[in-house]
Structure 1
Amino acid sequence: MAKETGGKSGRGQRELRVRVKTAKGRKLSSTLWLERQLNDPYVIRAKKDGYRGRAAYKIIELDDKFRFLVPGARVVDLGCAPGGWCQVAVERVNALGEKSGKKRGTVLGVDLQEVEPIAGAEIHQLDFLSEGADEKVKAWLGGKADVVMSDMAAAASGHKQTDHLRIIALCEAAADFAFDVLEEGGTFVAKVLAGGAEGELQTRLKKAFTKVAHVKPPASRSDSSEKFVVATGFRGRPEDERDESD
């Protein structure tokens, strides 16, 4: 299926690269995807570090920059499967109480599908768009959240404009949820596509948070159009929306 090829590096070490042979019945695109996965340094690193996917490094890099996963924080991970973001959050908010002298945080993951248990995280099979989902989450947390984060993406259609609209709609839904469950001063992190959170969503976030930034962490593949919006300093649902939500 695969073989390793390589040459000499400047340090005299052999750099190996896995080449995947095209098997009968497998499309070239699938072969190229598999080859990219096998040679992706973040995929290799995730296996070594025990994370459930390379996406774990995206939230690590975002948190290294913005510092929202602090010990004692209560975190909600929307669309948490397969669980890499939850794993990182557990470590950083001290959900297992392993950091002596630090506050112990809470990590709550929700997803439409069943997710394998994660030590230190509470996982629920839940549609966050369903009626009463916000109240359920606050009950499970024992209060409001300090962080709402989402790495969700709608299924790709292959049409760039359509995919952009779908993921913005998903981000808008996640933002609405965050408005309902976030504590004052809280943080909202969500995946968007190139161009960031645009139009109405951008306006809403700027009204609700003191700072809104768009970031492409190094762990995002260079050929990917994904970015992340990081909104910090939650001030509450925008005043012009409060009557509608009551």
Structure 2
Amino acid sequence: MAKAPGGGRQSEKDLKVRVKTSKGRKIGSTLWLQRQLNDPYVARARNEGMRSRAAYKLTELDERFGLLRKGMRVVDLGAAPGGWSQVAAGIVGTTAENPLVVGIDYLDMDPIPGVILLKKDFTEDDAPDMLIEAMGGHKADLVLSDMAAPTTGHRATDHLRIIHLVELAADFAIQVLAPGGTFIAKVFQGGTEHELLAMLKKNFATTQHAKPPASRQGSAETYLVARGFRGT
């Protein structure tokens, strides 16, 4: 523990970075910036060259469920900025000659070695065929979705939006997954999602929720992990 200027010792609380609210910056933005500066996962991502702290959510989910293995084909929906694609690429052994990871997003992304990045809205009708073509005609073993719908500030509305987005992602996964495959998606606790769960239970052998340590404790986000795709 570090010493304070007067010779005493500083507590961990004292060592945290505090951000003053500047002119033109909202309180919420100030609190977000302060949280970012004090977030160990943000610092770790910066030090290890990861594109976002979210990369460690996938790493921790993989440690718990054994999701990723060498040679498997992975699809990353809403991939920007590419943190999950980075993690997957490092484990499955994707290369430019044999690409095994495909990220899809309507936002621009910087290239990732061995990863095919499609600038595309995954909800468009031709997206599944385009993605399978990018994987050399093969279906995927794992479909990932760390997407979150834009928020309105109205809790019930925002929950319905994220559930609808997950339903779209699940429908996409059902079209592109190989039998036995896995689908992972971010959801938010609260409200009803029984239709979504019924859809997943119909198409997958097991479904469960998980909250990795990298997911902030104050956040309502959790992840649905559906394994053992039954095949269409």
Q: Give the structure-2-normalised TM-score.
A: 0.91
Looking at structure 2, the residues matched to 105 and 66 of structure 1 have their Cα atoms a distance apart, in angstroms, of: 24
| One-letter amino acid of the structure 1 residue matched with residue 149 of structure 2 | A
**Contact 2:86 2:112 survives alignment (8 Å):** yes
The CA deviation at 1:8 is: 3.4
1:20 paired residue number:
19
**Contact 2:156 2:191 survives alignment (8 Å):** no
Looking at structure 1, the residues matched to 58 and 164 of structure 2 have their Cα atoms a distance apart, in angstroms, of: 21
The CA deviation at 1:20 is: 1.0
| One-letter amino acid of the structure 2 residue matched with residue 201 of structure 1 | L
**Contact 1:209 1:233 survives alignment (8 Å):** yes
The CA deviation at 1:96 is: 4.0
Looking at structure 2, the residues matched to 174 and 213 of structure 1 have their Cα atoms a distance apart, in angstroms, of: 17
Looking at structure 2, the residues matched to 65 and 205 of structure 1 have their Cα atoms a distance apart, in angstroms, of: 20
1:218 paired residue number:
213
1:240 paired residue number:
none
Looking at structure 2, the residues matched to 196 and 217 of structure 1 have their Cα atoms a distance apart, in angstroms, of: 21
2:175 paired residue number:
180
The CA deviation at 1:140 is: 0.6
| One-letter amino acid of the structure 1 residue matched with residue 107 of structure 2 | Q
DSSP 3-state at the match of 2:18 = strand
DSSP 3-state at the match of 2:227 = strand
- Residue-pair matches, total: 225
Distance 1:107 1:155, change over 3 A: same
The CA deviation at 1:195 is: 4.3
1:100 paired residue number:
none
**Contact 1:192 1:227 survives alignment (8 Å):** yes
User: Per-residue CA shift, 1:28-75, capped at 9, x if unaligned?
Assistant: 211111011000011011101111111001111111111121100100
1:32 paired residue number:
31
DSSP 3-state at the match of 1:119 = coil
| One-letter amino acid of the structure 2 residue matched with residue 114 of structure 1 | D
Distance 1:122 1:177, change over 3 A: same
2:106 corresponds to 1:107: no
DSSP 3-state at the match of 1:8 = coil
**Contact 1:196 1:229 survives alignment (8 Å):** no
**Contact 2:200 2:207 survives alignment (8 Å):** yes
Distance 1:214 1:112, change over 3 A: same
1:101 paired residue number:
none
The CA deviation at 1:105 is: 6.5
Runs of 4+ in 1 over 6 A off after TM superposition: none
**Contact 1:196 1:214 survives alignment (8 Å):** no
Percent identity reads 54
Distance 1:8 1:122, change over 3 A: farther
Looking at structure 1, the residues matched to 19 and 156 of structure 2 have their Cα atoms a distance apart, in angstroms, of: 32
Looking at structure 2, the residues matched to 175 and 232 of structure 1 have their Cα atoms a distance apart, in angstroms, of: 12
Looking at structure 2, the residues matched to 96 and 141 of structure 1 have their Cα atoms a distance apart, in angstroms, of: 12
Give the aligned CA root-mean-square deviation in angstroms: 2.2
Looking at structure 2, the residues matched to 140 and 131 of structure 1 have their Cα atoms a distance apart, in angstroms, of: 16
| Correspondences of 1:202-217 after superposition (within 5 Å) | 202-217=197-212
2:67 corresponds to 1:44: no
The CA deviation at 1:16 is: 2.7
| One-letter amino acid of the structure 2 residue matched with residue 224 of structure 1 | S
Looking at structure 2, the residues matched to 49 and 190 of structure 1 have their Cα atoms a distance apart, in angstroms, of: 25
User: Per-residue CA shift, 1:60-112, capped at 9, x if unaligned?
Assistant: 11111111211001000000000000000001111149xxxxxx761100001
Structure 1, unaligned runs of 5 or more: 98-103, 238-246
Structure 2, unaligned runs of 5 or more: none
Q: 1:130 aligns with which of 124, 127, 130?
A: 124
Distance 1:90 1:197, change over 3 A: farther
